[in-house]
Every structure is written in C-alpha cells, then in structure tokens.
C-alpha cells in the first residue's frame, strides 16, 4: 500500500483527538461532495516522505506554540523542514484549530517546497470535487511527456506536438516534462483517466532516468502500487539510448512494461532509438507508425505517412555557375539555373561547394578573354 492517499487529510499536534475529530468531519464533507479518493490519517514521517505520491494534502493541526508537540507531528515536521524534494504538483491546505503557530510553520514550508496553497475550506472542496470519479465525466486529452537530459527527447516531443496540430488543427496537445504528471488539465491529471500519453524517455548514466523524469520514475516503479493505478490511460513509449552503454533504452523499456502492469492500455508499440547509430534511423520509422495509430483512435484526422521527396543526383557544378572564357567562376552559384535543371526541388545537401574567384584571377581571366577575342 502507498504511504499516503492521493487526496490525504493528515492530522496531529498537541491535542491529537481534537485534530482527528476535525479531520474526520472534513473527510465526511469531502466524501459527501463526491471527493471519494480522500482519506484521513495521522501525521507521520512516512507521510512526509511520500508527499510526491499525493495530489492534494490537507493538514489539520491542533497545537500550542511552536515547540515540541506529540511525537508523530515532531517526526513529520523534522522530515519536512529538512527535505529538499519539490512538491510542485501538490495542492495543500493547512487548517489550524489551535493557536495557529504550527499552521503558520507548515504552510510556509509547503510554500517553500513549491506547493499550491488553498486557504479556504470551501475552496478545498471545490478544488477536489472535479477530480472525483463518481461525479466527473472523463475528458479525452492528448499529452506528450518527455524525460530528457541533453534535450533530444524534449525536441522530439515538441516536434510531435507540431506535427499532430498540423494534421488536426483543432487538436490541442500538452507537452510537459514527465515529472509534471500531476499537473491538471480541466481538473484531471495529465496521466489520469481519459489521457492518451506519448512518452519519450531518454536513459542516462547506468540506466538512470533524466532529472526531469526521475520523480515519476521512482513513483511508478514502486511495487506497492495498485494494479489499476493508471486504468483508463492509453500510452506508447519511445526510448532513446546508446548501445555503447549496457542498459540500452532501459528507462523507456521499463516504463513501457510498467504502464501495462498498472492498468494502462498500450496503443502503439515500443520504439528504441540508438544515438550511436543516429537517432533518426529509428525515430523516423516509429513516428511514421504513430500517425496511423493516433488516427485509429480518432485523435487526429490525417494518419497518412508522408514520403520524403527524392531529389535525385546532384546537378553538375558547370551547369549552375557563371564562368568566363577560361572557365573561372566569376559570379558564384546560379540558383535559378539550378532550379531549371532540377525542377523537383532544391536540397541544401546538393549545393556544390564553390568559391569566389580572387581579384587576381578575375583580372587574368578578363585579359585572356580579350586576347582570345
């Protein structure tokens, strides 16, 4: 079992019984309003260490002063104030029914770690209510999530977004780092029910996840996660790696298998690209198969594979250069002439590498031309 609920109400302080009663009253109100994933539990060190697994946390305190409280709160607070783990995905509320000193400390620390604070109980209910499975209509959305250390996975993710929106101008695609999986679109997490996720994940070091995907990497691999954790999610994975290292595409391969283990539905095959051979040799064919797969789901209207144009053999330099009587290049490369000779298109790779003639060569060519006239 996870150490903390996705929507957690944690209680503690000097008067634990009073805090627990307030937490249970709040829990009843949340459940009555359709927030059926909320659960109440006492504060603990394990809860503090598991904040990244939660979507929202409400801390109910009944304390006195900022000195020592009951042991569970002290353990929670010691861990929280020393932790360097960001909780940017977390929505937090702190309700202090004591003298307010503890609440001020905890609220400030949550804010320092990046959480989004909500100060009013009614707003807490409103914030959680749209995510309740019993009251929310599942919204379909398309997300491209990347774990990128050097920028390759991020660039590919952004290219995928551009291509999807070019094929279906009305389709809105969210592109985010993998560690932003808790962020909400229309009240639902990016990797939540109704989501179609394209995961592009690099592998670094000895099979490690990049920095902007490491938190999700730890979260999804926990063996205690329920088998329906990602139920209602469709996904595919493109892994980037290097065969010069032992664990080639390890992160992509593990994510592909783990998503299926926790209830997600794979809609397109795993792809593995090798930087040692050139990423494009695997990325381009994988993308060519992605468009028909997305079209089959009804997410884009154009799933055609667009073949690259064959520009043919390079046109000879002599056909495209302006020369004098001696054959020396005088005015550089003639693009208009090139296009007349090669009407199928201009490819920069076909442009000949030419040089401008020096002034001495031009003078000599002109003199030779006059002499031969």
Predicted local distance difference test score (pLDDT) of residue 152: 93
Of 78 and 349, the structure prediction assigns the larger pLDDT to: 78
Q: What confidence tier does 360 reach under pLDDT thresholds 50, 70, 90? A: low
Rounded Cα distance, 58 and 62, in Å: 13
pLDDT for residue 31 is more than 90: no
SS3 content of the chain, % helix, strand, coil (to 5): 40, 20, 40
- Contact criterion met (CB below 8 Å) for 207 and 250: yes
Burial class (CB in 10 A: 0-12, 13-18, 19+), 187: middle
Structure tokens at 294: 């997305």
Query: Residues 158, 164, 169, 173: is their CA dihedral positive or negative?
Result: negative
**pLDDT tens-place string over residues 282-309:** 999 999 999 999 999 888 887 776 654 4
Least confident of 43-57, 155-169, 289-303, 358-372: 358-372
Least confident of 17-21, 134-138, 197-201, 348-352: 134-138
Rounded Cα distance, 248 and 25, in Å: 52
- Contact criterion met (CB below 8 Å) for 80 and 44: no
Rounded Cα distance, 87 and 50, in Å: 10
pLDDT for residue 108 is more than 80: yes
**pLDDT tens-place string over residues 139-155:** 467 999 999 999 999 99
Mean pLDDT, rounded, for 155-184: 88
Of 353 and 359, the structure prediction assigns the larger pLDDT to: 359
Mean pLDDT, rounded, for 338-345: 53
- The H or E element spanning position 293 is helix 280-296
pLDDT for residue 201 is more than 80: yes
At residue 57, what are phi and psi to the nearest 5 degrees? -135, 125
Rounded Cα distance, 2 and 53, in Å: 8
Compute the C-alpha angle 312/314/318, nearest 5°: 145
């Amino acid at each position: 079992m996870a150490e903390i609920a996705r929507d957690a109400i944690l209680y503690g302080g000097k008067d634990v019984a009073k805090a627990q009663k307030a937490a249970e009253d709040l829990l009843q109100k949340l459940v009555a309003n359709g927030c059926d994933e909320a659960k109440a539990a006492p504060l603990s060190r394990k809860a503090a260490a598991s904040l990244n697994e939660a979507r929202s946390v409400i801390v109910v305190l009944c304390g006195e002063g900022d000195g020592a409280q009951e042991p569970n709160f002290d353990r929670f607070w010691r861990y929280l104030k020393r932790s360097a783990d960001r909780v940017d995905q977390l929505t937090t509320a702190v309700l202090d029914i004591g003298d307010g000193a503890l609440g001020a400390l905890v609220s400030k620390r949550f804010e320092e770690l990046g959480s989004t604070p909500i100060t009013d109980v009614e707003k807490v209910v409103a914030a959680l209510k749209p995510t309740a499975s019993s009251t929310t209509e599942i919204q379909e959305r398309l997300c491209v999530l990347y774990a990128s250390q050097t920028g390759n996975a991020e660039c590919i993710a952004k290219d995928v977004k551009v291509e999807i929106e070019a094929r279906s101008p009305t389709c809105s695609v969210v592109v985010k780092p993998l560690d932003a999986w808790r962020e909400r679109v229309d009240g639902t997490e990016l990797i939540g029910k109704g989501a179609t996720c394209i995961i592009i994940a690099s592998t670094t070091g000895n099979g490690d996840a990049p920095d902007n995907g490491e938190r999700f990497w730890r979260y999804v691999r926990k063996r205690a996660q329920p088998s329906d954790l990602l139920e209602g999610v469709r996904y595919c994975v493109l892994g980037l790696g290097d065969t010069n290292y032992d664990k080639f595409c390890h992160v992509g391969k593990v994510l592909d298998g783990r998503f299926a283990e926790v209830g997600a539905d794979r809609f397109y095959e795993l792809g593995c690209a090798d930087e040692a051979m050139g990423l494009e040799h695997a990325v381009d064919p994988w993308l060519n198969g992605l468009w028909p797969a997305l079209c089959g789901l009804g997410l884009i209207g154009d799933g055609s594979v667009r073949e690259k144009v064959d520009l043919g053999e390079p046109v000879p330099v002599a056909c495209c250069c302006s020369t004098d009587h001696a054959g020396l290049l005088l005015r550089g490369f003639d693009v208009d002439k090139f296009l007349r000779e090669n009407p199928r298109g201009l490819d920069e790779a076909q442009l000949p590498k030419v040089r401008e003639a020096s002034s001495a060569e031009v003078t000599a060519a002109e003199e030779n031309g006059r002499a031969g006239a």
